[in-house]
Amino acid sequence: MSDRYDPGAIRFHWIMAVLVILVGVLGLLHDSWPKGTQSFWINIHALVGLLVWVLLMARFWWRSTHRPPPLPPEAGELSRRLARPVHLLMYLLLLVIPILGIVTFVWHGRSFDFGLFRVDFGVPKNRAVFGPTEDVHGYLAYTLFTVAGLHALAALWHQFIRRDGVLSRMWP
């Protein structure tokens, strides 16, 4: 069916959606972990976040060589106008949030623990840097949750109310 996203784009979409939910939930739980385990969980959060960023780079490359199909003719005018800017905004947030996370992590004096090896930039803890980046990282993450939540609701609205086949294009 030519009006569907290609299987690669569908895989990227759903794998990344699951990872973004996972990294977001881990982020929201940061302050709830027992003190002794906080560093462990922040490291897991950082590694999953890094994976999201690496997958995003691969997804950009894939998308540049695999154009998405045009919206079905049944899709309304509002969807036509909103789809592109909303998708672009989500891509932008997925690009910037991890970068601010890395700055926050490194300038907090933390090192990445990949299990088999560690990566330590040896940067001393500096609140003047990580304070603001941590705040903006959090605000942008909340923005992403809101936009992605509305995006998912829009997909369900297309599927069950408008019945115009938009969700089927991205369904595995």
- Judged by the rule CB under 6 A, the positions of this chain that interact with ligand HEM are 13, 17, 20-21, 23-24, 27-28, 30, 42, 45-46, 49-50, 52, 63, 68, 71, 83, 87, 90-91, 94, 97-98, 101-102, 104-105, 108, 134, 137-138, 141, 144, 148, 151-152, 155-156, 166-167, 169-170
Q: Is the CB of 50 or the CB of 129 nearer to ligand HEM?
A: 50
CB of 75 to ligand HEM, least distance (A): 8
CB of 34 to ligand HEM, least distance (A): 14
CB of 18 to ligand HEM, least distance (A): 8
Following DSSP, what letter does each residue of the chain receive, concatenated?
-TTSPPHHHHHHHHHHHHHHHHHHHHHHTGGGS-GGGHHHHHHHHHHHHHHHHHHHHHHHHHHHHSPPPPPPTTS-HHHHHHHHHHHHHHHHHHHHHHHHHHHHHHTTT--EE-SS-EE---PPP-HHHHHHHHHHHHHHHHHHHHHHHHHHHHHHHIIIII--SHHHHH--
